[in-house]
Chains A and B, each alone.
Chain A
């Protein structure tokens, strides 16, 4: 059963067994009453207390993340429970959520005096104010998150009959070990307003509440916030529910649980829940692509509170890069791959070059220019098994961007394609063909980890053939196109994604789009247009009321989105275009695309056969490299 919480109105609860939720969130009056109930440490236990605390946690989280705009709504309760704040983050991370069942009953047993004592040793940035649970009204938000964590951690300990002692702090230790590869936004002050004002935060934590990744700010500074997030997840889970999202006026908080990982997005981008969830899924897949799903589950089966940052150290840049791409590149929104427009004769000749340069166990040969796909050749038996998913290609492109292939010459690295097979590694050979410019990149994927030399030999053959055909200079001339080529006045931009049709069944989903030109040439304007597209996309794909055609008059432009069984199309026109005009324009546009489709898309992706033993490359086949590479992680525990 799914729960959707909306702080603005009321709580929608699936089974209605916790009626108090509505009351808590509905009005300030109710909050006062409920907050008092939360506050009183030795009040009799009632069955709805988990819900009370959950509600409090919601507002605490809200308050911590973005205090001002939602002040009048949910956070009134927060200032009431504020004084009992501050638990060192290590305690929360250590003990929170070790058990699947949250220690709901114990929450209220918490002795305020004891908690206050804990404050003395507080290591957080806020000085522990000595006030008690009286009417403190200061808005000490950054510690507020710790309240719930404190209660949870404390309760958990009491449940187990252990007191809070020892200040061992695995998080802080881990923190000092962090290498100097910190980028500046990792050093951000997480209590600062500028931190709260980021458009989209992304957090990854383990089920034990241990921080794994934060897009902004260091993970250990955010351990209490992440503790609260985990508390929310656990509370809802205890009622056999899954928390999906929390809405406030300004922000949407979306949760995604994948195996032992919890991903949370706090966004003010006004995207739909589905879109944000899709983005979190990309983050999850990127982590999988580095570690594989199998090893992640094994690690956490082995040791619930394992600090996964050990294994992800040095990969923050890859995740940062992914999130920046997700925000700026519509490929992710459309789940489709953008290919570079190219004369079909040139594309075919490139494909043939790739097709000829093969070696056993080679499964994909991919040529990329300017971060867009030129061509892709796949092993026959592999595509019979399954097709390469756009998301896997996106992850590969992001990896190339983050790799140092541009300076090293050749890279050989294990990589997992999560949608192809989340438990297995491929070995990727990455090399640029046009140093020092480094715009044309060759990516060869093999299932054989020993194949470096033979795969590098393939590259040499490809390089040679391309030189003979002068391909590089031809590729250099290719590029994105201008919307003016379509010849439809008032059309400013579009995105067109054809669906699978019988003749290209199992083909990689692609889309085409012209360059963003004036008035969308600045970064802000580009983002604004993308936001409009995201809005249209959200409406089209709304789960409650999907639409097929939207004519949307925005402030500075008019948009029309249209989805049929054959394609999905988003168009942007100048402001005063009527619906009839727009439809006529779209007819012209579709005709133009039809005419140009050989240039705009990879029409018939070629294949080769390299695998003497088909089972080795197939999706289900357990290849030997999985065992030899994955098991290594266990030895680290």
Chain B
């Protein structure tokens, strides 16, 4: 749980520089779920730009992308940062359907958000066949440990009971955020990427100007999960 995995980032960098041989780029749909104000958008911003800004409540859902290079594959994370506000809950399934990775985020200084994360877990369990989605329990705001209401052990034990991965992060300081993304990348590649049709390949559409890194394949399904 949350164990540190070998860093591959540096190696991957050379990879893209020297590249002439085709590299598989696989699409990974990742969704962030959790109560309002736990730091989902801040985590997403860390993932994609490694920045921290104080944010306003998310409107609907924000979509970001980030590419992670592994030794044998490149993963293109399509991050769906959902709004925690209750008014959007009825539309949230729209965003988490077909997700390969779900991050259940809670605020370690607000017990209620921890309870709420478990409600989200139940929601997810209703929808999914185990094994098709890698689920992480993420205790955020690690920098506010002095106001902690949810002990580390409690998060760990919930995760092990439910078969989730667990980590505590701080989007503010950036602590453990990159580690989280790296471990997610490894796990998702191991668990889902190995399956037949588990992850679809990402291709730029032929008309695309290669300077645009954010483009989508209109015809590729993003929602293909499991065999």
Which residues of A are in contact with B by a Cβ distance under 8 Å? 177, 179-181, 290-291, 310-315, 317-318, 399, 402-405, 407-415, 428, 430, 449-450, 452-454, 456-457, 460, 463-464, 467, 629-633, 635-636
Contact = CB atoms under 8 A, between A and B. Distances in A.
Contacts of B209: 464, 467
Q: Ordered nearest first, which 3 A-B pairs have the shortest CB separation?
A: A632-B90, A413-B60, A408-B62
5 contacts: A310-B86, A314-B36, A453-B218, A457-B216, A629-B91
Given A177-B112, A408-B81, A630 B90 contact: yes
Contacts of A410: 62-64
Contacts of B218: 453-454, 457
Interface string B47-67: 011010101111111111100
Given A179-B36, A179-B37, A449-B91, A314 B57 contact: yes
Given A404-B41, A408-B62, 16 more contacts: A311-B85, A311-B86, A311-B87, A312-B87, A314-B87, A403-B58, A405-B62, A411-B63, A412-B61, A450-B94, A452-B63, A453-B222, A454-B218, A456-B216, A460-B216, A636-B89
B177 to A, nearest CB: 16
A180 B38 CA distance: 10
Interface string B202-227: 00010011001011101000100000
Nearest to B59: A403
A411 B62 contact: yes
Interface residues of B, number: 43
A456 B62 CA distance: 12
Contacts of B208: 460
B53 A412 contact: no
Nearest to B48: A409
B63 A313 contact: no
A332 B84 CA distance: 31
Contacts of A636: 86, 89
Contacts of B45: 407-408
B91 A291 contact: no
B37 A290 contact: no
Nearest to A290: B87
Interface in B126-174: none
Given A312-B87, A460-B212, A317 B57 contact: yes
B60 A314 contact: no
Nearest to A321: B56
B56 A404 contact: yes
Contact of A411 (B35, B48, B59): B59
A181 B87 CA distance: 16
B64 A291 contact: no
B83 interface: yes
A408 B64 contact: yes
Contacts of B55: 404, 407
Contacts of B30: none
Contacts of B84: 314
Given A408-B64, A449-B94, A629-B90, A313 B36 contact: yes
Nearest to A458: B218
Given A181-B57, A291-B87, A314-B83, A408 B212 contact: no
A630 B88 CA distance: 10
Nearest to A414: B91
Which one of A405, A408, A412, A636 has the greatest number of beta carbons of chain B within 10 Å?
A408
Interface in B73-103: 81, 83-91, 94-95
B44 interface: yes
Nearest to B109: A180
Nearest to B57: A314
Interface string B6-20: 000000000000000
A147 B31 CA distance: 51
Contacts of B65: 409
Contacts of B37: 179-181, 314
Which one of B59, B84, B88, B91 has the greatest number of beta carbons of chain A within 10 Å?
B59
Which one of B53, B81, B86 has the greatest number of beta carbons of chain A within 10 Å?
B86
A290 B83 CA distance: 13
Contacts of A453: 216, 218, 222
Nearest to B95: A412
A405 B62 CA distance: 7
B58 A313 contact: no
Contacts of A404: 41, 55-56, 58-59, 62
Contacts of B81: 408
Nearest to B97: A450
A415 to B, nearest CB: 8
B36 A632 contact: no
Contacts of A407: 41, 45, 49, 51, 53, 55
Contacts of B90: 629-633, 635
A311 B87 CA distance: 5
Interface string B28-40: 0000000111000
Nearest to B55: A404
A45 to B, nearest CB: 45
B36 A181 contact: yes
A180 B109 CA distance: 12
Nearest to B35: A179
Which one of B36, B44, B56 has the greatest number of beta carbons of chain A within 10 Å?
B56
A413 B59 CA distance: 6
A181 B85 CA distance: 12
A291 B65 CA distance: 29
Contacts of A409: 48, 62-65, 214
A457 B214 CA distance: 10
A463 B56 contact: no
Nearest to A463: B212
Contacts of B205: 457
A294 to B, nearest CB: 13
A404 B44 CA distance: 12
B214 to A, nearest CB: 7
A180 B42 CA distance: 15
Contacts of B35: 179
A413 B45 CA distance: 18
Contact of A632 (B49, B62, B85, B91): B91
B122 to A, nearest CB: 13
Contacts of B83: 314, 413
A403 B41 CA distance: 12
A315 B60 CA distance: 11
A374 B179 CA distance: 43
B84 to A, nearest CB: 7
A310 B90 CA distance: 13
A438 to B, nearest CB: 13
Nearest to A427: B60
A402 B212 contact: no
Given A181-B57, A402-B56, A408 B86 contact: no
B148 to A, nearest CB: 16
Given A315-B85, A315-B87, A408-B41, A413 B212 contact: no
A458 B134 CA distance: 31
A311 B90 CA distance: 11
A454 B219 CA distance: 9
A402 B208 CA distance: 31
B5 to A, nearest CB: 27
Contacts of B49: 407
A414 B53 CA distance: 25
